[in-house]
Amino acid sequence: MSAVIGIDLGTTYSCIAFMDGQTPVVIPNLEGNNTTPSVVSFIPGGQHLVGLPALRQAISNPYNTIYSVKRLIGKKFNSPEMEQLRDKFPYRMIEAPNGDILIEAAGEIYTPQEISAFVLAYLKQCAENYLGTRVEEAVITVPAYFNDHQRQATKDSASICGLKVLRIINEPTAASLAYGFNTRKNGKVAVYDLGGGTFDITVLEIHDGIFHVLSTSGDTFLGGDDFDNRLIGWLLEEFKKEHGIDLSQDKFALQRIKEAAEKAKRELSFTPETEINLPFICSGPGGSLHIQKKINRAFFENLTRDLVENTLTICQKALKDAGLSASRLDEVILVGGQTRMPLVRQMVAEFFGRQPAARINPDEIVAIGAALQANIIKGSTRDLVLLLDVTPFSLGIETENGGFQKIIERNTTIPARKTMAFTTVENNQRRVRIHVLQGESPKAADNKSLATFELVGIDPAPAGVPQIDVTFEVDADGLLRVSARDVGTGREQKVEI
CB closer to ligand AMP out of 119 and 397: 119
Task: Look up 486 and say whether it is catalytic.
Answer: no
Q: Exactly one of 149, 265, 297, 406 binds ligand AMP (CB under 6 A); which one?
A: 265
Q: What angle do CA 477, 201, 140 make, to 5 degrees?
A: 30
Indicate the residue whose CB is closest to ligand AMP. 224
Q: In what order do the strands lie in the sheet with 108-110?
A: 92-95, 101-105, 108-110
> Any contact of residue 336 with ligand AMP (CB under 6 A)?
yes
Contact 108, 71 (CB under 8 A): no
Q: How far is the CB of 487 from ligand AMP (least distance, A)?
A: 48
Q: How far is the CB of 309 from ligand AMP (least distance, A)?
A: 17
The secondary structure of 361-390 as a DSSP string is -TTTHHHHHHHHHHHHHTT---S--EEEEE
Catalytic-role residue among 100, 193, 389, 473: 193
CB closer to ligand AMP out of 71 and 485: 71
Of 105, 117, 107, the residue nearest 73 (C-alpha): 117
- Per the DSSP assignment, residues forming a β-bridge with 276 are 293
Taking CB under 6 A as the binding criterion, the range among 136-144, 251-259, 261-269, 386-394 that sits at the site for ligand AMP is: 261-269
Q: How many other C-beta atoms can be found within 10 angstroms of the C-beta atom of residue 271?
A: 11
Catalytic-role residue among 70, 75, 124, 155: 70
Of 177, 60, 69, 61, the residue nearest 115 (C-alpha): 69
Q: Exactly one of 212, 317, 340, 435 binds ligand AMP (CB under 6 A); which one?
A: 340
Q: How far is the CB of 412 from ligand AMP (least distance, A)?
A: 28
- H or E, element range at 3: strand 2-8
Size of the site for ligand AMP (CB under 6 A): 18
> Any contact of residue 338 with ligand AMP (CB under 6 A)?
yes
Task: Look up 171 and say whether it is catalytic.
Answer: yes
Taking CB under 6 A as the binding criterion, the range among 5-13, 60-68, 97-105, 428-436 that sits at the site for ligand AMP is: 5-13
Q: Does the CA dihedral 295-298-299-301 come out positive or negative?
A: positive
Q: Where are the beta strands (DSSP E) in 70-159?
A: 92-95, 101-105, 108-110, 134-142
Of 27, 332, 84, 38, the residue nearest 193 (C-alpha): 332
Q: Exactly one of 5, 7, 11, 367 binds ligand AMP (CB under 6 A); which one?
A: 11
Q: How far is the CB of 341 from ligand AMP (least distance, A)?
A: 4
Q: How far is the CB of 151 from ligand AMP (least distance, A)?
A: 18
Q: Are strands 480-486 and 468-474 parallel, antiparallel or unpaired?
A: antiparallel
Q: Which of residues 353-372 bind ligand AMP (CB under 6 A)?
A: 363
Task: Look up 95 and say whether it is catalytic.
Answer: no
CB closer to ligand AMP out of 12 and 215: 12
What binding mask, one character per residue, do residues 105-144 give for ligand AMP by CB under 6 A, x or -? ----------------------------------------
Taking CB under 6 A as the binding criterion, the range among 108-116, 126-134, 292-300, 330-338 that sits at the site for ligand AMP is: 330-338
Q: How far is the CB of 172 from ligand AMP (least distance, A)?
A: 12
CB closer to ligand AMP out of 139 and 245: 139
Rounded to whole angstroms, the Cα distance separating 95 from 385 reads 44
**Distance between the two ends of the chain, CA-based, in angstroms?**
34
> Any contact of residue 262 with ligand AMP (CB under 6 A)?
yes
Catalytic-role residue among 114, 148, 171, 473: 171
Rounded to whole angstroms, the Cα distance separating 343 from 233 reads 20
Q: Which of residues 164-223 bind ligand AMP (CB under 6 A)?
A: 195-196
Q: Which of residues 266-305 bind ligand AMP (CB under 6 A)?
A: 266, 269
Q: Which of residues 51-110 bind ligand AMP (CB under 6 A)?
A: none
Rounded to whole angstroms, the Cα distance separating 157 from 110 reads 12
Task: Look up 188 and say whether it is catalytic.
Answer: no
Q: How far is the CB of 319 from ligand AMP (least distance, A)?
A: 23
Q: Does the CA dihedral 31-35-41-45 come out positive or negative?
A: positive
CB closer to ligand AMP out of 336 and 466: 336
CB closer to ligand AMP out of 48 and 265: 265
CB closer to ligand AMP out of 275 and 454: 275
Rounded to whole angstroms, the Cα distance separating 189 from 211 reads 10
Rounded to whole angstroms, the Cα distance separating 16 from 129 reads 13
Q: Which of residues 213-232 bind ligand AMP (CB under 6 A)?
A: 224-225
Rounded to whole angstroms, the Cα distance separating 161 from 182 reads 32
Q: Exactly one of 3, 4, 9, 10 binds ligand AMP (CB under 6 A); which one?
A: 10
Q: How many other C-beta atoms can be found within 10 angstroms of the C-beta atom of residue 457?
A: 11
Q: How far is the CB of 235 from ligand AMP (least distance, A)?
A: 16
Secondary structure of residue 85 in the 3-state scheme: helix
Of 22, 389, 403, the residue nearest 215 (C-alpha): 389
In the complex, the residues that contact ligand AMP under the rule CB under 6 A are 10-13, 195-196, 224-225, 262, 265-266, 269, 336-338, 340-341, 363
Q: Which residues are catalytic?
A: 8, 70, 171, 193
